[in-house]
Structures are given as C-alpha cells and as structure tokens.
Structure 1
Amino acid sequence: MFIPNDVKMILDTLKSNGYEAYIVGGSIRDFINGTLLPKDYDIATNALTGDVIKLFDKTVPTGIKHGTVTVMISGEGFEVTTYRIDGEYLDNRRPEGVIFVSNLKQDLARRDFTINAMAFNEQQGVIDYFGGIEDLNNKTIRAVGEPNKRFQEDALRMLRAIRFAARLDFEIEEKTLKAISENSNLILNISSERTRDELCKMLVSNSSTKALMLLEETRLLEFILPELQKTVGFNQKNPHHDKDVFQHSLAVVENCPRSLNLRIAGLLHDIAKPLCFTMDENGIGHFYGHDKKGAILSEQILKRLKFDNQSVCKIRILVKEHMNVLAKPTDASVKRLINRVGVDLLGDLFALQRADALGSYLPEIRLGEIHKMEERTLAILESKVPISIKDIAVKGEDLISEFSLKPGKEIGAMLKFLLDKVLENPELNSKDELLAMIYDEYME
C-alpha cells in the first residue's frame, strides 16, 4: 500500500517509541478495491493522547475526550486516535463516552462495516479480523458483528450502507439490509444536516437510482422524504409517460449531469404530481399546476433538510420552470424566461428539461423543442437586447423625479410594465418613449 511520507513518519515515530500504529478505515478499503487513491489516512494506536502530544512538535487536541489528536505536518492534519471501545449510545448517534483499550481488534470491532474495519502497517500488512477483504472481493456491504446493534448505536450508518452500495456498486448483505428496514425509524434521531449530507453524496454517486431504490426498499425514504414516498407506484395514466412518478423521477436524476443542485431538482421536479392529479373524461391523467406547487413544496423540503438559501432558490426556480418548453417560442416569451430564470441558470434548466424528456415516453419531439428554445435563447443573448429591468432606459429614480412619486411598490409595478413593453418591442427602449408610456398609462 502506498503511504505518503508524512503518514509514514507518524507511524515510524510511534513504533520507534514502543507503540503500535496502523492506518485504519476507508483508505485501506479504497486502496484494496482499487477504486480511488486514498485521500484521508486515519491512524490508530495504543498510545494515549498525552503520549501522542509529547511525541510530535505540533498537535491539535481535536477530540481528546474520544482519544483523537490531530498531528500537524507542513500545514496538513492527520488524525491519530487511541484504540477504544464505545460507551453506551443513548441518542442513536454518539456514545456517551469511550473506554481506551490496548487491543487493536477491540477497536476495529466497534466500526460500521467489514470493509471499513481493516488496519495496515508495513510490518504486518493488512489486518483483517472480520472478513473485509472477502466482502470487498464479493462486492458486499456487511455490518461488523450484529447489524441491529450497529444501527441502534448510530442510525446514520444505515444511510452510509446505502451510500457505499451506490458508490461502489456493491450489494448489501441480507441480514444487514433487513436490519436497516427494521430500524429505519431511528433515522429521525439523526440531524437534518447529517441526513442531507448523505443524501447529497448518494445523488452524485455512480448509481443514484440504486441508492434511491434502496432508500425506498428499506423504508428510510418515508422518514427522510415522505413527499417523495407518495410518488412510489403513482400511475400517471398519461400517454407521455411509461413509468410511475417515482420511477420517472429516478430516470430524470440519472439523466442529469452530476451537478448536485441539478440532480436535486431532477428528484423533486414532479414532487407535487400526486397532489395535482386529475383525470379527464377519456381516462387521461393531468397534473395542472404541479410545477408551481412543486416549487413551493421543494422549498419546504430543502429548508427542512437545512440546505443553504442560494441552493434552495436555484432549485425552486428549476422546478418551477421545468415545464416551460415552447413548441413555437417567440422572442418575447424567451426573453421573459431568461428574465425569470437568470442567465447563469439557463444551462441547468435546459439540462433538466432534456433529462425530463429522456425519462418520458417517446422523447424526440420534446427534445427537438428544447433544442429550438436553446438556439433562440442563445441568439437573444448574443444580440444584447434588453431582457431585464436593469436593461431598460428608465430607472426607478427617473420615475420618482419625473412624476414626484415616493419609493414603493408602485415604482416596481411601473418598471415591470415598461419591461413587458420593451420585451415585446426593443425599439421602445428610450427614456422619452418609456416616460411617455408611464404618463399615458398611469398619470392621465
């Protein structure tokens, strides 16, 4: 196994002073599996934190209570943790305390999955007490020891199991999978931020579809995204769709580029369809207004999961606008779309619309329409015609000065009125012309 010089120095320093020292965890998994060059190298030792601090010039006491000291070398930090076993778990997330031990096997036995419970140093090679290498070879995610105990200790491990299965394209071992289903309600004890982070990693993994299917199979979905659970098996009864709403949403996510906000928008773009379903006299299903209702619902979901405000805003716009594909787009309608969406988000919108079309039945016609929209949008942007309020020749202060008005909502309404006129006819964009229109419309 390749060991960076700084990591080797830490191991050698501990060993030369009479202590055991091993690289542990995911770096060994990734190296053996050959999927990724390890990024993080965590070190376990029988040395106590005080001993570690004495041995190295610069350390940071990042987790003394849990036996972790960060050794700083050339500005980079490496976590060194004393062998330990965990105390009682009362919140399904963190132990109340830890007990330091001198035995490596005891330390490895507390870890989540066999593929993460291996150790390595140059003298002894790989230490594998729990069959991690065999499970790597068999592409299996298996809990260390009793699965129910592992997940009751830390419910976040259920999401980690699914994330690893998706990222590595592994299968979850039968007892481990059953234990996730049996303990799925415990995910409610995990913070929204932790849940969000795992979900995001799944969505940009090698197989987001596999991850989402496993979330549904294990009942985690109904606790994390109950709104999405309602789309499972929802028959659209529409000739444009050959999948239920859930399966269609998974296809859209898979068809999206691996941009996080774009994939979240793909997951949520039809989230309101079960709420908006109607059926006409011919037995055809319709979902009028699901884009607008979905935008509101998406914002509620993302805020619940503690997404940042900028991401919430962008995803809401994408969900709200995903249906705006025009068969015969006019310049004015495209300008209004650009104004609503924003230039920076247009590429994501068209990518979402293409993914939506590809996830539907017979997508060719809609793909052609999206292509026309993109071409017309690009032509308008290159022409430098006015497309937003900041581009028109009259400003708010001009209206205030010219008509002795006070700042307020009325000024905004006037500017929007002028923008609509200019979008229809760019030649009207002169100060005198626009002020005259305001006089005619509002002042007479």
Structure 2
Amino acid sequence: MFIPNDVKTILSTLNNNGYQSYVVGGCVRDFKIGISLPKDYDITTNALPDEIIKLFDKTLPTGIQQGTITVMINEVGYEVTTYRIDGEYLDNRRPDCVTFVSSLKEDLARRDFTINALAFNETDGLVDYFGGVKDLENKTIRAVGEPNKRFKEDALRMLRAIRFASRLNFNIEEKTLKAIKENHKLILNVSYERIRDELCKMLVSNNTTKALKLLEDTKLLMLVLPEIQASVGFNQKNPYHDKDIFEHTLAVVENCPPKINIRVAALLHDIAKPECFTIDEKGIGHFYGHDKKGVILSEKILRRFKFDNKSINDIEILVKEHMNVLIKPTDVTVKRLINRVGVDLVFDLFTLQIADALGSRFHEIRIGQINRVKEKTIAIIESKVPLSIKQLQVDGKELIKQFDIKPGKEIGDMLKFLLNKVLENPNFNTKEKLLAIIYDKYIK
C-alpha cells in the first residue's frame, strides 16, 4: 500500500518510540478497491493522547476526550487516535465514555462495517480480523459483529451503509439490511446536520438512484424526507410522463452532473406535485403552480437541514425557474431570464432543464428549445450588454441627489423600471438618458 511520506513520518515516530501504529479505515479500503491516492489517512495507535502530544512538535487536541490528536506535518493535519472501546450509547449518537485499550482487534471491533475495519502498516501488512477484504471482493456492506448493536450505537450508520452501497455500487448484506429496516426509527435521534451530510454524499455518488431506493425500501425516506416519500408510486396521468413522480425525480437527479446544488434542486424540483395534482375532464393529470409551491416546500426542507443561505437561494431559483423554458426566445425575454436567475446560475438552470426533459417523454423538442435559449444566452453575455441593476449608469444615490427623493421603496422601483428599459434597449444605459427617463416617468 502506498503511504505518503508525511504519514510514514508519523508511523515511524510512533514505532521508533515503542508504540504500535497503523493507517486504518477508509484509506485502506479505498486502496484495496483501486483508489491509489485516498483522500484522508487516519492513524490508530496504542499510544495514549498525552504520549502522542509529547512525540510531535505541533499537535491539536481536536478530539482528546475520544483519544484523537491531530498531528500537523508540513501544515497538513492527520488524525491519530488511541485504540479504544466505546461505552454505552444512550442517545444512538455517541458513547457516554471511551476506554483506551492496548489491542488493535478491540479497536477495530467497534467500527461500523467490515470494509472499514482494515488496518495496515509496512511491518505487519494488512490486518483484517473481520473479513473486510472478502466483503470488498464480494462487493458487500456488512456490519462488524451484530448489526442491531452497531446501529443502536450510532443510528447514522444506517445512512452510511446506504451511502457506501451507492458510492461503491455494493450490496448491503441481508442481516445488515434487515437491521436497518428494524431500527429505522432511530434515525430520529440524529441531528439534521449529520443526516444532511450523508444525504449530500449520496446525491453526488456514482449511483444516487440506488441510494434513494434503499432509503425508501428501509423506510428511512419517510422519516428524513417525507415530502419525497409522498411522490413514490404517484401516477402522473400525463402523456408527457412515462414514470411516476419518484421515478422521474430519480432520472432527473442521475441526468445532472454531480454538483451538489444542482442535484438537490433536481431532487426537489417536483416536490410540490402531489399537492398540486388535478385531473381534467379528459382524465389527464396537471400540476399547475407546482414550481412556485415547490419553492416554499424547498425552503422549508433546506432550512430544516440547515443548508447555508446562498445554497438555499440558488436551489430555490432553480426550482422556481425549472419550468420556464422559453418557446420563442427573444433578446429581451432571455435578458430578463438571465437577470432573474443570475449569470453565475443560468447555465445550471439549463442543465437542470435538460435533465428534466431527459426524464420525460418526447424530450427531443424540449431539449431543442432549451439549447436555443442557451445559445442566445451565451451570445448576450459575450456582448457584455447590461443585465442587472448594478450595471446601470445611475444608482439609487444618484437618483436621490438629482431629484431630492427620500430613500425608500420608490428608489428600488425606479431602478427596476430603468433596468427594464435598458434590457429592451442597451443604448439607454447612459447617465443622461436614464435620468431623463426617470424625470419623464416620475418627476414631471
């Protein structure tokens, strides 16, 4: 196994001072499945935290109560953790205490899955007490020891099992999967932030469809995303759709690149369809206003999971505009679209719209329409015509100064009016012409 020089330095320092030490967990797993340069290297040792601190010049006590010290080598931090066993898990999230031990096997026995309970050093080679290598070969996610115990210790492990299954395209072993189903309600004891992080990793995995179907099969979906659960099996009764809402959503997510905000928007783009469903006199289903209602539901969900404000804003824009495919795009209508969505986000919108079309029937016509808008958008942006209030040759301060107007909503309305005029005719974007427009419209 390839080990970076900085990690070798940590291992050799521990070994030369009479301690055992191994790289452990995900880095060993990833190397065994062919990822030659894993992202993170975690180290486990029988040295106690205080002893680790004494051996290295620069350390951070990032998790000293749990036995974890971050050792800084060349400005990069590496987590070094003392062998330990966990106490009682009273809240299905964290142990009430940890006990340091001298046995590597005891330490590995507390880990979640066999494929993560692997250790390696250059002296002993690969250490595999629980059949992790065989499970890697068989593409199997299996809990270490008794799966019910593992999930009752930390309920987030149920989501981790599904995340690894989707990322690696593995299957969850029968007893492990059964235990997830039996313990699914324990996920309610886990914070939304921790759940969010796992869901986001699933959404950018190699097989998001597998992840979301496993969430639904194990009844976790109804607890963490009940709004999505409502779409499962929902017949759209519409000639443009050959899938139920859930299956359509899965297709749209998979058709998007693995960028988290686009994929979250894809997951939520039809979130309001069940609430907006109507059937006309011909028996055809419609979802009028589901894009606008979807924005309201999306914000509720995103704030529940404590997404940052910029992500919430961007995702809401994508959900709101996903149906807005311009059939006959003109320069003015495309400029207004760019203004509403933003130059930085408008191409993500086109990506989502194309993914949405690909997940539906008769997608060729719609994709052609989207591509025409996209081409016109590129031309408009490259022409460097003004597209936002910030690009106007006057601002609110100038209007207040020139016309002795008090600051307030009226200033914003004036600037929006000017922008519409400039979107229609970029030649209006001079200070003199803009002030004249305001004078004629509001002052005279």
TM-score > 0.5 by shorter chain: yes
User: Is this contact kept in 1: 2:295–2:320, CA < 8 A?
Assistant: yes
User: Is this contact kept in 1: 2:169–2:206, CA < 8 A?
Assistant: yes
Partner residue of 2:125?
A: 125
Q: C-alpha root-mean-square deviation of aligned residues, in Å?
A: 1.9
Residues 22-37 of structure 1: matches in 2 within 5 Å?
22-37=22-37
- Give, in whole Å, the separation in 2 of the partners of 1:386 and 1:43: 55
- 1:219 maps to 2:219: yes
Residue type of the alignment partner of 2:80: V
Partner residue of 1:356?
A: 356
Task: Indicate the larger mover: 372-381 or 361-370.
Answer: 372-381
- Give, in whole Å, the separation in 1 of the partners of 2:262 and 2:63: 36
Shift of 1:442: 3.7
Structure 1 residues 281 and 10: alpha-carbon distance in aligned structure 2, compared to 1, 3 A threshold: same
- 1:70 maps to 2:58: no
- Give, in whole Å, the separation in 2 of the partners of 1:209 and 1:274: 20
- Give, in whole Å, the separation in 1 of the partners of 2:100 and 2:84: 4
Residues 291-370 of structure 1: matches in 2 within 5 Å?
291-370=291-370
Shift of 1:181: 1.5
Superposed CA deviations along residues 201-239 of structure 1, whole A, max 9, x for unmatched, are: 111111111111111111111111111111111111111
Partner residue of 1:159?
A: 159
Residues 106-121 of structure 1: matches in 2 within 5 Å?
106-121=106-121
Superposed CA deviations along residues 21-77 of structure 1, whole A, max 9, x for unmatched, are: 222211111111113522322222222223333333333322222222223322233
Residue type of the alignment partner of 1:15: N
User: What SS does the aligned partner of 2:206 have?
Assistant: coil
Structure 1 residues 77 and 425: alpha-carbon distance in aligned structure 2, compared to 1, 3 A threshold: closer
Shift of 1:440: 4.5
Residue type of the alignment partner of 1:411: I
- Give, in whole Å, the separation in 2 of the partners of 1:284 and 1:436: 52
Task: Indicate the larger mover: 282-291 or 50-59.
Answer: 50-59
Could you tell me which runs of 5 or more consecutive residues in structure 2 were left unpaired when the two chains were aligned: none
- Give, in whole Å, the separation in 2 of the partners of 1:350 and 1:91: 44
Give the aligned length. 444
Partner residue of 1:279?
A: 279
Residues 223-302 of structure 1: matches in 2 within 5 Å?
223-302=223-302
- Give, in whole Å, the separation in 1 of the partners of 2:317 and 2:336: 14
Shift of 1:412: 1.4
Show structure 1 runs of 4+ deviating over 4 A.
427-437
Partner residue of 1:146?
A: 146
Shift of 1:9: 3.1
- Give, in whole Å, the separation in 2 of the partners of 1:51 and 1:153: 29
- Give, in whole Å, the separation in 1 of the partners of 2:222 and 2:379: 45
Structure 1 residues 20 and 372: alpha-carbon distance in aligned structure 2, compared to 1, 3 A threshold: same
Task: Indicate the larger mover: 343-352 or 431-440.
Answer: 431-440
- Give, in whole Å, the separation in 2 of the partners of 1:91 and 1:372: 55
Shift of 1:251: 0.7
- Give, in whole Å, the separation in 1 of the partners of 2:385 and 2:13: 67
Partner residue of 1:82?
A: 82
Shift of 1:275: 1.2
Structure 1 residues 436 and 9: alpha-carbon distance in aligned structure 2, compared to 1, 3 A threshold: closer
Superposed CA deviations along residues 90-121 of structure 1, whole A, max 9, x for unmatched, are: 11111010111222211111000000112222
Structure 1 residues 160 and 414: alpha-carbon distance in aligned structure 2, compared to 1, 3 A threshold: same
Task: Indicate the larger mover: 230-239 or 416-425.
Answer: 416-425
- Give, in whole Å, the separation in 2 of the partners of 1:79 and 1:239: 55
Partner residue of 2:405?
A: 405
Question: TM-score, normalised to structure 1's length?
Answer: 0.95
Superposed CA deviations along residues 281-313 of structure 1, whole A, max 9, x for unmatched, are: 111111111111111211121111111111111
Residue type of the alignment partner of 2:166: A
Could you tell me which runs of 5 or more consecutive residues in structure 1 were left unpaired when the two chains were aligned: none
- Give, in whole Å, the separation in 1 of the partners of 2:436 and 2:62: 67
- Give, in whole Å, the separation in 1 of the partners of 2:239 and 2:247: 16
Structure 1 residues 85 and 284: alpha-carbon distance in aligned structure 2, compared to 1, 3 A threshold: same
Shift of 1:170: 0.4
Q: State percent identity of aligned pairs.
A: 72
Task: Indicate the larger mover: 321-330 or 392-401.
Answer: 392-401
Structure 1 residues 404 and 57: alpha-carbon distance in aligned structure 2, compared to 1, 3 A threshold: closer
Structure 1 residues 163 and 433: alpha-carbon distance in aligned structure 2, compared to 1, 3 A threshold: same
User: Is this contact kept in 1: 2:140–2:170, CA < 8 A?
Assistant: yes
Structure 1 residues 402 and 73: alpha-carbon distance in aligned structure 2, compared to 1, 3 A threshold: closer
User: What SS does the aligned partner of 1:344 have?
Assistant: coil
Structure 1 residues 179 and 442: alpha-carbon distance in aligned structure 2, compared to 1, 3 A threshold: same
Superposed CA deviations along residues 2-36 of structure 1, whole A, max 9, x for unmatched, are: 22233233333333333322222111111111135
Structure 1 residues 433 and 39: alpha-carbon distance in aligned structure 2, compared to 1, 3 A threshold: closer
- Give, in whole Å, the separation in 1 of the partners of 2:167 and 2:378: 36
Structure 1 residues 65 and 422: alpha-carbon distance in aligned structure 2, compared to 1, 3 A threshold: closer
Structure 1 residues 78 and 426: alpha-carbon distance in aligned structure 2, compared to 1, 3 A threshold: closer
Partner residue of 1:16?
A: 16
- Give, in whole Å, the separation in 1 of the partners of 2:329 and 2:115: 54
- Give, in whole Å, the separation in 2 of the partners of 1:99 and 1:433: 76
User: Is this contact kept in 1: 2:2–2:36, CA < 8 A?
Assistant: no
- Give, in whole Å, the separation in 2 of the partners of 1:279 and 1:440: 49
